[in-house]
Structure 1
Amino acid sequence: MGDQELSAPPPPPPDAELTSEQKLYWLNALQIVGDWTVHDDGDGRLFYYDRRTDSSQWEVPDALASLETEFMMKLMLQNAVARSGVWTAHDAGNGTLYYFNSKTRVSVWQRPSEWGEQEAAAAA
């Protein structure tokens, strides 16, 4: 097998390009469940290896799947809002989102009331 260790689980779909901040978030999240590593089998298929149990599997481990789901939800939210307007969501580095208004240069912890309007505009 062409066992090439990857530094993170499979990236999101090509249309959702990651920023360096998003990659760093994902890598930091993986360190929390650091027993798992991701490998390429040489044919482009990924498998997951658990160093703690010395076992491997094709399916995304539950510990990584929940992180991947959370990460993808945040990424989709950020991308949709970034395309739509003034407010953008950002990770504070601990998994908590804050919101930044590029027009007024104000950051807030609570979701702005205009947020729903921007999401609707992004979906249109």
Structure 2
Amino acid sequence: MPRTKNKQKKLHVKKGDNVKVIAGNDRGKEGRVLAVFPEKERVLVEGINMRVHHDKPTQDNPQGGRIEREMAIHISNVMVIDPTTGEPTRIGRKRIEEDGGGRWVRYSKDSGEIIDN
């Protein structure tokens, strides 16, 4: 059954997470998530998948030139790093009951440590 337009898939990665790349040219490298694109299921990770971008000359940059910048990679190619062990881990979700209500948090499947603050 296709997803409706306003219903996006829940992702295991959020902006600011430390992740490890598990597939691709940069396999084994670690970095911080700079941006998440849920509609495309891609993430931008600091220092990962660097590509050369050719900039046209502008008033701010009259010379123009070639600039290295990060490009997005598929979300299935990264795993969140467990804060306690420092190893990549799978992510689960559970509801935590608080004062008069509850909220959903992400937790590490290996250590059980809550990842969300």
Please, what TM-score do these two structures have when normalized by structure 2? Answer: 0.22
Whose strand fraction is larger, Structure 1's or Structure 2's? 2
Whose helix fraction is larger, Structure 1's or Structure 2's? 1
Higher RCO (C-alpha under 8 Å, 6+ residues apart): 2
